[in-house]
Structure 1
Amino acid sequence: MTTETAGRAWQAMRSLVLEQHDRRAEVCQVLDMSFIKIKALYKVARGPMTMRELTDALATDKPYTTLVVDFLEDRGLVERTRHPEDRRCKIVTVTEKGAAEAAKATAILNAPPEPFLALPADDLAELDRILAKLAVD
């Protein structure tokens, strides 16, 4: 019974986030780029990353990560520099403009949908408590 209930809860959460209240299309339209590029920008905005680290974080291959970073660099959102200890390695760092765009994306993606705002305060507090227990960072 617990596995069945957990499966139902998981399916409901996935549906809420990825289907019923999916903000990805909105953020892509506002920033005028694909979601993978937004995801890359978000990750780099959290701190400089090597190209390899970014490739791993995006679960893409090296050539595709290079295309994504090329795009972001052409827009002035990130910059690539040589790693100070390994000349063969590049570090991707967010620019001021990139940080502002990443903040815009975060605001859109983190805005709670109406049904959440309509929940009673006690229900929201309980949901927050449960999700905090499940959060792994």
Structure 2
Amino acid sequence: MSAERVYAVMRRLVLESDDRKQRVADTLGMSFSRGRALRALVDGPVRMSELAGRLLMDKPYTTVVVDDLERRGLVVREADPSDRRAKVVTLTETGREAAETAIEILTAPPAELTRLSPEDLEELDRILGKLGTA
């Protein structure tokens, strides 16, 4: 088996067999980019400028995204106590639940992996460990 064939199987398995981005969008009832913003806030409050950087979005579009999430009751935006000119975005409890739902969808193993025997999973883990990905 060639490296190209193995990579084609891995690509299909991980990227093409299940449109997780669409599942996140459908489940949350919002665009995937808004779900990404929620996930970026899971570890705690973030300044708007830092959020824009994490999401690789320009600041005006980040404002549009946060405005929408705020209208939905998923985040709150407040002045940064250390710099009143800056705004900090924090998840609400509902926002945290939505972010966790998105994370669950994105991190669930593909069905094909769950059907492998424990021995096959162990062997695959061993091989992937050689690649530095496990």
Instruction: Please indicate the TM-score interval, normalised by the length of the shorter structure.
Output: 0.7 to 0.9
SS at match of 1:21: coil
Unaligned stretches of 5+ in structure 2? none
Return the match for 1:110 from 99, 107, 113.
Answer: 107
Match of 2:74 among 69, 73, 77: 77
- C-alpha deviation, 1:67, in angstroms: 0.5
Unaligned runs of 5+ in 1: none
Q: 1:31 aligns with which of 28, 31, 36?
A: 28
Deviations 1:74-131 (A, max 9, x none): 1110111111111111111111110111111122222222101111212323434526
Residues 1:36 and 1:128: Cα distance change in structure 2 (over 3 Å): farther
Q: TM-score, normalised by structure 2?
A: 0.84
Percent of pairs identical after alignment? Answer: 48
Moved over 3 A (4+): 7-15, 126-129
Higher relative contact order (CA 8 A, sep 6+): 2
Asked if 1:65 corresponds to 2:62, the answer is yes
The Cα shift of 1:12 comes to 4.6
In 1, are the aligned partners of 2:42 and 2:96 still within 8 Å (CA)?
Answer: yes
TM-score, length-normalised on structure 1?
0.83
For residue 17 of structure 1, what is the amino acid of its counterpart?
A: V
RMSD of aligned residue pairs (Cα, Å): 2.2
Residue 100 (str. 1) matches residue 97 (str. 2): yes
Find the aligned partners of 2:55 and 2:5 in 1 and give their Cα distance.
Answer: 28
Residues 118 and 96 of structure 1: CA distance in aligned 2, closer, same or farther (over 3 Å): same
2:44 to 24, 42, 47: 47
